[in-house]
């Protein structure tokens, strides 16, 4: 049976619980253990699928079609373990399950209460698949003291009591602020955070303290004394130049050893960190650099494109170059000529998104990349914009556009080369959708197969003609325009197995211009870069050396 590690946070949010959890998972793997990571989010949304990127950053999609928190992206990138629907839960999902059971009569007429019904639902969720791995790491979102987090904290308290002694360990992440005026590192916020945690029945075994520098011995001893942990279980989480330093940095601080000591595992297997040493070497010792423009509309919040930024970094590692990312607001090109803004970049990437705002700017970016032979990668909406650009400017469909924009405006203005996807095949079943369906969880979500054309650029990049990639979209390029567009020179180099849904387009006469309907960034890892990002950065590297 699995041992459980519960990761909580205090003082302030955004301290890096997800990264600490992912790095710890990687370290346990380096010692030969199997791991799975989970995220328990206290917000009342059922999942992040209908939340604005400005609210919650990107939505990370799993193979089995769950729309989840971006921390699951960290988990996958650091451990290589594919996340599942059962690895992400919210208060909204928990309460939905409880209320559905109540309506069915499963509770036999009892009064439904937070304790035990909601907490039991949370505990049932935590237990899923516990016999599959050596360690289950469960991160609780938010910070201790948040009113909406209380059922989760109570559930993990109960869970630890239900399990045999020594099978659950609690790790608490806090902030150690440095006050410049007094020149001191302050431990009081951490003390108060632990006091809050203990008041609800939880005592941390390990303290991970986020700080700008190392923790002096005096402060470490003070934290150990006042927070009732061993001095060697006070771990400094210092600011890093790259997140991919985290496993080695945490190992150096003794995090994995502290966890194994808390479980009483001795002697512990020695870690093999060769993989992470190589990753760090590729990050810090590049042999050149390239600059990529990401032309999007959520550029004020980089977390909206977190996986894309990381996948570009991985592509850089594969090519031994540093990838500099410049965020370009697509709406800028609604008003201005893109040429002066894009002429100094080695490559252009147009990511996914929803709604009409900024799309004309994305179309202009695709046109600039096509005409000036700049490497271009269009993802999801970025592919659709490249197809609309080709239809308007090469194939003679002057009013080409997307049905999505007409639905949003409430009037028909475009010839829809991109239409609302009403039907597709999922496994052995046919899925049907209408434009007026509820928004949550109704897109074409998760992993689907695609067949690549022999001799195409994508087939060369992948090294195969059959792939499966993760999708998240409800609009699709209309296959009825395929013949007209191919006649104009745009190649449909990837199709769904039934040949009804375009998956990939490319310009054969361009050095590197590819649009994909899926999200390749979701499968990229530092030690296994995605083939498309690896090839895209290679193309950018060639351009940079020509300049």
Give the active site residues: 380, 519, 521
Could you give the C-alpha distances from 61 to 177, 417, 471, in angstroms and in order?
35, 26, 8
Report whether 190 belongs to an annotated binding site: yes
- According to DSSP, residue 380 is labeled T
Burial class (CB in 10 A: 0-12, 13-18, 19+), 177: middle
Report whether 297 belongs to an annotated binding site: no
With tokens 């209309």, the residue in question is 478
Report whether 430 belongs to an annotated binding site: no
Report whether 384 belongs to an annotated binding site: yes
- Contact assessment for residue 185 and residue 178, using Cβ atoms and an 8 Å cutoff: yes
Angle at alpha carbon of residue 83, lines to 66 and 88, rounded to 5°:
55
Distance CA 480, CA 400 (A): 13
Report whether 16 belongs to an annotated binding site: yes
Report whether 14 belongs to an annotated binding site: yes
Dig out the tokens for 271 from the structure: 């870690």
With tokens 């999942």, the residue in question is 47
Report whether 367 belongs to an annotated binding site: no
Report whether 382 belongs to an annotated binding site: yes
Distance CA 55, CA 58 (A): 9
Report whether 17 belongs to an annotated binding site: yes
Please name which of 378, 286, 312 lies closest in space to residue 533, comparing C-alpha atoms: 312
Beta-carbon count within 10 A of 142 CB? 20
Q: What is the DSSP string of 252-320?
A: HHTHHHHHHHHHT--SPPPP--HHHHHHHHHHHS-S-EEEEEEEES-TT-GGGGHHHHHHHHHHHHHTT
269 three-class SS: coil
Report whether 191 belongs to an annotated binding site: yes
Report whether 13 belongs to an annotated binding site: yes
How many whole angstroms from its chain centre is CA 263? Answer: 30
Distance CA 161, CA 159 (A): 5
Report whether 188 belongs to an annotated binding site: yes
Could you give the C-alpha distances from 405 to 51, 243, 334, 357, 412, in angstroms and in order?
19, 38, 16, 9, 9
Annotated binding site for CTP: 13, 146-148, 186-191, 222
Annotated binding site: 13-19, 71, 139, 146-148, 186-191, 222, 240, 353, 381-384, 404, 474
Annotated binding site for Mg(2+): 71, 139
Annotated binding site for ATP: 14-19, 71, 240
């Amino acid at each position: 049976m699995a041992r459980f590690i519960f990761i909580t946070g205090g003082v302030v949010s955004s301290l890096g619980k997800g990264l600490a959890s992912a790095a710890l998972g990687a370290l346990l793997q380096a010692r030969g253990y199997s791991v799975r990571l989970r995220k328990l989010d206290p917000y009342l949304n059922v999942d992040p699928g209908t939340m604005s990127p400005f609210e919650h950053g990107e939505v990370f999609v799993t193979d089995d079609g769950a729309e989840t928190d971006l921390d699951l992206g960290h988990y996958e990138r650091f451990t290589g373990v594919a996340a599942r629907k059962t690895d992400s839960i919210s208060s909204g999902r928990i309460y939905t399950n409880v209320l559905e059971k109540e309506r069915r009569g499963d509770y036999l007429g009892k009064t439904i209460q937070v304790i035990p019904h909601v907490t039991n639902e949370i505990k049932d969720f935590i237990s899923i698949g516990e016999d599959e791995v050596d360690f289950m790491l469960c991160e609780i979102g938010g910070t201790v003291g948040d009113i909406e987090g209380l059922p989760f904290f109570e559930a993990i308290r109960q869970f630890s009591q239900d399990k045999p002694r020594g099978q659950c360990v609690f790790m608490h992440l806090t902030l150690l602020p440095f006050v410049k005026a007094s020149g001191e590192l302050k431990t009081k916020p951490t003390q108060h955070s632990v006091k809050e945690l203990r008041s609800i029945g939880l005592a941390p075994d390990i303290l991970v303290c986020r700080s700008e520098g190392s923790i002096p011995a005096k402060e470490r001893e003070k934290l150990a004394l006042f927070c009732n942990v061993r001095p060697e279980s006070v771990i400094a989480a210092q600011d890093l130049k790259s997140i991919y330093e985290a496993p080695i940095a945490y190992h150096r601080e003794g995090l994995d050893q502290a966890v194994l000591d808390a479980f009483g595992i001795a002697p512990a297997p020695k870690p093999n960190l060769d993989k992470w040493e190589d990753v760090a070497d590729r990050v810090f010792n590049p042999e050149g650099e390239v600059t990529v423009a990401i032309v999007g509309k959520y550029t004020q919040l980089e977390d909206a494109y977190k996986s894309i930024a990381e996948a570009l970094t991985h592509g850089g590692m594969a090519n031994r170059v540093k990838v500099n990312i410049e965020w370009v607001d697509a709406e800028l090109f609604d008003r201005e000529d893109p040429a002066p803004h894009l002429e100094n970049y080695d490559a252009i990437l147009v990511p996914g998104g929803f709604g009409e705002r900024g799309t004309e700017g994305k179309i202009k970016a695709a046109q600039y990349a096509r005409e000036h032979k700049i490497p271009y990668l269009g993802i999801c909406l970025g592919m659709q914009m490249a197809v609309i650009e080709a239809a308007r400017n090469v194939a003679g469909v002057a009013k080409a556009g997307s049905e999505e924009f007409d639905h949003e405006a409430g009037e028909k203005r475009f010839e829809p080369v991109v239409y609302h996807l009403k039907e597709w095949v999922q496994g052995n079943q046919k899925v049907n959708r209408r434009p007026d369906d509820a928004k949550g969880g109704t897109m074409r979500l998760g992993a689907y197969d695609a067949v690549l054309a022999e001799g195409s650029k994508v087939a060369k990049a992948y090294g195969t003609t059959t792939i499966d990639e993760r999708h998240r979209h409800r609009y699709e390029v209309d296959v009825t325009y395929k013949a007209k567009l191919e006649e104009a020179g745009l190649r449909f180099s990837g199709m769904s197995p039934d040949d009804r849904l375009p998956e990939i387009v490319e310009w054969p006469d361009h050095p590197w211009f590819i649009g994909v309907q899926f999200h390749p960034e979701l499968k990229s890892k530092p030690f296994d870069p995605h083939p498309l990002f690896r090839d895209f950065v290679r193309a950018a590297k060639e351009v940079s050396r020509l300049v």
